[in-house]
Amino acid sequence: MGTNRKLPFGYRMEFGRIAIHLEEANWVQHIFTQYNQGVSFQGITDKMRNSGMPYDGDKQWNKNMIARILPDYRYCGDRGYPEIIDEVTFQKAAEKRKKKSASQRKTKAQAALRKKCVGRMTPYIESEVLHLLNCLAKNPERIVTPQIHRAHSQRLDVLKSELEGLIGQLPVDENRAREVLQEIAAEMYADIDPREYETEELLHKLLRTKFRPEFINRLDEIVFFNALSDADMHGIVDLLIADLAKRLQANRLNLSVSESAKAAIIKNGADPLFGARPLKRYIQGHIESLLARFIIENSPEEGSTLTVDADEKGSFIIGQKQ
């Protein structure tokens, strides 16, 4: 196995002093000559590999080794090292490296893009993203940005901070993490037009921008649900009321709920994001409790029909008819 070089390629120790390694020094001169003639790092690397001259022991040549040799001023006789490269040749190579570095310098957009990314991007991905951004800059009408309300953005920051803290502590409190994720989803839903929210592609993009990859990777599957429509809400209310009526029939009582009462239930108890459960809890807390109190206080006869109506303010009125 090779060892890490203590002296630059082209030198060796002789009787306690730094001396030129003639064979290696010839290759150092060759590297500078090739580079000044326009040969790339990869081209020089390939030639050094084919030469049979190892860099150090059994180490294969690579571009990093070439990159270390070219700027090393010790080859010009600096710091007590014997001269291998003359000043003119060295400065010519330095000027070429400077021009190449300037041409590869990142733009402000590229620097900002790398800063926003968790890991390093490949040049291909970077160029594709910048191309997309340039296209959007030329055609701003193609940009659709959800309007984020200030009242929500501060809450989102708090929730995201809590979620990152939960993920960073092992073992992860999965129950709390799930609750926080649901709260974040609720906040994000309030900030986005439902027509945009229903697209799976947009949701994936939102997840990737809001959460780190290490968190997304913990999710085996992401299931997307569309928001419930008004027709869905009415259907759910009808099913819940039918279930309540069936339970009352066990006590030989019937149930009639007016359309105004159903509308009040939907208006006050519906949450499109969380499905049927809020409606069920609302009916339990506002309709069933009123019916139970009415039955206890009035002892309706068997076969009677209990009625549920709502006034203009949405308050429920329980009645009875034979």
Residue at token pair 């340039």 = 134
Q: Which domain holds residue 135?
A: 108-142
Burial of residue 16 (CB within 10 Å: 0-12, 13-18, 19+) is exposed
The pLDDT tens digits for 192-241 are 554 444 445 555 666 666 666 777 677 666 665 666 777 888 888 888 99
- Domain assignment present for 63: yes
Token pair listed for 293? 């109190």
- Number of structural domains, the chain? 4
Average pLDDT, the chain: 77
Please give the pLDDT value at position 136: 58
Q: Which residue has the higher pLDDT, 226 or 183?
A: 183
Contacts 24+ apart (CB under 8 A), 206-214: 210/160, 210/184, 211/160, 211/163, 212/118, 212/164, 212/167, 213/118, 213/119, 214/167
Segment among 5-9, 169-173, 247-251 with least mean pLDDT: 169-173
Whether 67 is in a domain gets the answer yes
Give dist(CA 250, CA 143) in Å, integer: 58
Whether 133 and 187 share a structural domain? no
Does this model's pTM top 0.95? no
> Domain for residue 225, yes or no?
no
* More confident site: 82 or 111: 82
pLDDT of 150: 42
Please give the residue that has the higher pLDDT: either 135 or 180: 180
Q: 244 and 169 in one domain?
A: no
- Beta-carbon contacts of 8 under 8 Å, excluding residues fewer than 6 positions away, are 69, 72, 74, 75, 81
Q: What percent of the chain has pLDDT over 90?
A: 25
Q: Is 223 among the domain residues?
A: no
Asked if residue 314 and residue 246 are part of one domain, the reply reads yes
Are 135 and 165 within one domain?
Answer: no
Do 235 and 312 lie in a common domain? yes
pLDDT at residue 137, as a whole number: 59
Report, as an integer, the average pLDDT of 94-99: 88
DSSP 237-256: HHHHHHHHHHHHHTTT-EEE
Residue type present at position 27: W
pLDDT at residue 305, as a whole number: 92
Q: Is pLDDT above 70 for 79?
A: yes
Same domain for 122 and 76:
no
Q: Any idea which of 30-39, 144-153, 242-251, 312-321 has the lowest mean pLDDT?
A: 144-153
One domain for residues 156 and 184: yes
In a domain, 64, yes or no: yes
In a domain, 4, yes or no: no
85 in a domain, yes or no?
A: yes
Q: Would residue 278 count as lying in a domain? A: yes
* Of 243, 248, 260, nearest in space to 294 by CA: 248
